[in-house]
Structure 1
Amino acid sequence: MNEIMEDPSPLTEPPAFLFDLDGTLIDSVYQHVIAWRNALAEMEIDLAVWRIHRRIGMSGGLFVSALIRETGVDLTAEQAERLQKAHAREYLRQHGSVRPLPGAADLLATLSERGIRWAIATSGRRATAGRALGLLGLPEDTPMVTRDLVRHAKPDPDLFLAAARRLGVHPSATMVVGDSVWDLLAARRAGALGVGLMSGGYGREELERAGAYRVYRDPLDMLEHLDELGVRGGAVIDP
């Protein structure tokens, strides 16, 4: 009986995971929506809440560009910068109501226990995103790439490419976990597999159309189905 020859260079490590933050690990999407609404109100700009929600997850600059297109309001560079600063201020005012999503801390802890590398890549700036570390019980040196560290935020791939470099892995060996179409579009452009979570308000079909390989309700649901993503017990499932 012929023996099956072993691949001379087998993949011996599990894939790395790159996590979005808002709506993926922490329940903060609607705080961001209200923060944008309040910031816009300061400038006497009226935009329906549902329209704001559809833009959460993209960079603040792209949000402002979309705002100009949808409302016809022409903002100067100074006004656009003031709007983004107002959003950050309003979000921090509401940060006390932000909570980790079900299973988020346990998911990250489980991955670490199994020797699976992971990082956080968020369109938020460190001043706001950094506060989530305490909510998740994570140390300050947790691998995290924020908007401040890259040229472009989502749907550009810069955040995920930088996070992969931080972990020392090729982007094609990562899985991006996010709650919005912007996360999944950025994942595709980075050459990573996308995993969608519905905890940010997007539906299964929207996430799948944007490129999600698997879709789960929230981090807890993902944790309970880690084997579907090709990992268990810290090892890649045999092909």
Structure 2
Amino acid sequence: MANDEQGFLFDLDGTLMDSVYQHVVAWSEALQSVGLAIPVWRIHRRIGMSGGLFARALQRESPIPITDELREQLNTLHTAAFERHLVNVRPLPGTRELLQRLTDEDVPWAIATSGRARTAMPMIETIGLDMSKMKIVTRDVVPYAKPNPDLFLEGARQIGLPPEKCFVIGDSIWDILAARRAGSLAVGVLSGGYGENELVQAGAFRVFEDPAHLDRGLFELGVRI
């Protein structure tokens, strides 16, 4: 192993996959279908948190109560809408190359996403690596999604490292907050639409443009490969 004390935990949407704005549109369609008109920029600010927390956050802006029944309905509508947009989702520049480099150098890594397996797995498949050898943690297997640390704690467990030995790579403040709560070092990417200052203020140690930029800048994290 080139570096036996460092691992990587990757968010998926906006970090490895160019999918954030498809999620924004899917949530907008779901909300409009039940008579809720929420500005898309407000929706974008909440992409990356769990669907349940997203719905609860909407309660403060909704003219109607967000009941448990309505929350479940919105989650179902969002999933259906996002699946319609999956055809337009692609890996971000450098995703495959970065993950392949880490794999070739025996640097452990995992994907930890607030998304469910139903929508996450088809996206991960398009990366073009052997999924049977990947460590993948989805919302289905943890009690709470981001900004709780559960996803990253489980990812660290699966790659056999304590969370403080892992870099967490994410595009949103929810990723950064979850990383800090897990005790990991947070690294931001700009490919999900958040600004560099926002990510740094949330606690990101370094910020890169996208996976390709991170691949070229691994030395900035002290990774010797």
Per the normalisation by structure 1, the TM-score is 0.91
The answer to whether structure 1 residue 43 and structure 2 residue 41 are counterparts is no
Give the distance between the partners of 1:221 and 1:170, measured in 2 at CA: 26
Give the letter aligned to residue 83 of structure 2: L
- 1:51-66 matches, within 5 Å, as 51-66=42-57
The answer to whether structure 1 residue 172 and structure 2 residue 172 are counterparts is no
The answer to whether structure 1 residue 70 and structure 2 residue 61 are counterparts is yes
C-alpha contact (below 8 Å) 2:9/2:166 kept by paired residues: yes
Equivalent of 2:206 in 208, 214, 217: 214
- Counterpart residue number, 1:9: none
**Where does structure 1 lack aligned partners over 5 or more consecutive residues?**
1-11, 234-239
- 1:63-212 matches, within 5 Å, as 63-141=54-132, 142-212=134-204
Give the distance between the partners of 2:114 and 2:27, measured in 1 at CA: 15
Q: CA deviation at 1:77?
A: 1.0
Residue 9 of structure 2: SS of its match in structure 1? Answer: strand
Give the distance between the partners of 2:156 and 2:63, measured in 1 at CA: 38
The answer to whether structure 1 residue 34 and structure 2 residue 25 are counterparts is yes
1:49-71 CA distances to partner (integer Å, 9 max, x unpaired)?
00000000000000000111122
C-alpha contact (below 8 Å) 2:86/2:123 kept by paired residues: no
Q: CA deviation at 1:14?
A: 4.0
C-alpha contact (below 8 Å) 1:173/1:192 kept by paired residues: yes
**Where does structure 2 lack aligned partners over 5 or more consecutive residues?**
none
C-alpha contact (below 8 Å) 2:191/2:209 kept by paired residues: yes
Residue 177 of structure 1: SS of its match in structure 2? Answer: strand
Give the distance between the partners of 2:131 and 2:60, measured in 1 at CA: 38
Q: CA deviation at 1:44?
A: 0.5
Identical aligned residues as a percent? 54
Residue 231 of structure 1: SS of its match in structure 2? Answer: coil
- Counterpart residue number, 1:7: none
Give the distance between the partners of 1:25 and 1:206, measured in 2 at CA: 19
Q: CA deviation at 1:129?
A: 0.5
Q: CA deviation at 1:72?
A: 3.9
Give the distance between the partners of 2:11 and 2:169, measured in 1 at CA: 6
Q: CA deviation at 1:122?
A: 0.2
Number of residues of Structure 1 aligned to a counterpart in Structure 2? 223
Residue 74 of structure 1: SS of its match in structure 2? Answer: coil
Give the letter aligned to residue 122 of structure 2: R
117-126 vs 134-143, greater mean Cα deviation: 134-143
Q: CA deviation at 1:139?
A: 2.7
C-alpha contact (below 8 Å) 1:198/1:216 kept by paired residues: yes
Give the letter aligned to residue 47 of structure 1: I
Per the normalisation by structure 2, the TM-score is 0.97
C-alpha contact (below 8 Å) 2:24/2:44 kept by paired residues: yes
Q: CA deviation at 1:225?
A: 0.6
**Segments of 4+ in structure 1 off by > 6 A?**
none
Give the distance between the partners of 1:107 and 1:71, measured in 2 at CA: 41
